[in-house]
Amino acid sequence: MKTLNAKDLHAKDMAESAGYREAYEALDEGFALIDSLIRARTSARLSQAEIASRMGTTESVISRLESGRAKPSTRTLERYAEATGHKLRISFEPLNKAS
């Protein structure tokens, strides 16, 4: 019996299943936002509690933002950026990169 590891199974599904590939790529955007939030906070050398205090909210709200359990508004992202000494930039990218 052949055993597949997760990396091989993922590669196979990405190549063979359009639905899997679309779902995975949609997740990638959420992970990018989470990564950006955490990088901004850590580069500012601030804790979640310190960010919460600067934003006038609770540490649990920041935790939810950084875990991806909450969909932040643009205003929330602006406040987070300001609290970490960053500027928020939102961009649009074409869906079809091959032209």
CA distance 69 to 29: 14
In contact, 37 and 31? CB cutoff 8 Å = no
Query: Can you give the pLDDT at residue 76?
Result: 96
In contact, 80 and 34? CB cutoff 8 Å = no
Between residues 4 and 59, the one the model is more confident about: 59
Q: Which domains does the chain have, with CATH numbers?
A: 7-84 (1.10.260.40)
Helix (H, G, I), strand (E, B) or coil at 77: helix
Please tell me the pTM assigned to this model. 0.69
Q: How confident is the model over 58-96, as pLDDT tens digits?
A: 999 999 999 988 889 999 999 999 999 999 999 888 877
Q: Compute, in degrees rounded to 10, the torsion defined by CA atoms 45, 47, 49, 55.
A: 40
Q: Is the pLDDT of residue 52 over 80?
A: yes
